[in-house]
A = this chain, B = another copy of it.
Amino acid sequence: MRVSTRFSDSIHLLAFLKIYADQRLTSDLIASSIETSPVVVRRLMGKLRQAGLITTTPGSAQPALAKPLDQISLLTIFYAVEGDKPLFAVDPKTNPDCIVGGNIQTVLQQYYQDAQTAAEARLAKTSLQDIVDNILVEQAKKEALS
């Protein structure tokens, strides 16, 4: 698994805050939707809070989105919870006395960065609003069938 489910779970969490805004948003309730533990949820919320995406109140179950949905992109969320690690890793330890080993890192770095940037540009195009909209559409489809 390349990128941990932290990213996926964080999107889930933020969408949950919006769609169930009328509920008491305890970490327990959120955890039951993600099917994880409340501690994992609180840790995720900690990262999202540090990134300025949500506000929380210690002791009180009232997390809230800090920005409008359409101003939170998937890329913003990605950086909040996973952004410190590159998607593609360059082997940092190769033989500097070899023509290949001595130059491969420099060469790969640029191509890897290009590929990562292309993926990030895609993530930047999608907002949490798109995610929430799509979730509601999918839900409506299900209900139409039942």
Contact = CB atoms under 8 A, between A and B. Distances in A.
Q: Which of A16, A32, A107 has the most CB of B within 10 A?
A: A107
How many copies the complex holds: the figure is 2
B35 A87 contact: no
Interface in A8-56: 8-9, 11-12, 15-16, 19-20, 32-35
A61 interface: no
A135 B34 CA distance: 46
Contacts of A111: 74, 122-123, 126, 130-131
Interface residues on A, range: 35 or more
A15 B104 contact: yes
B87 A135 contact: no
Nearest to A34: B94
A125 to B, nearest CB: 8
A107 to B, nearest CB: 4
A63 to B, nearest CB: 14
Interface of A: 1-5, 7-9, 11-12, 15-16, 19-20, 32-35, 74, 85-91, 93-95, 98-104, 106-108, 111, 114-116, 118-123, 126, 130-131, 134-136, 138-139, 142
8 contacts: A2-B2, A2-B85, A3-B87, A16-B98, A35-B101, A99-B135, A104-B131, A119-B119
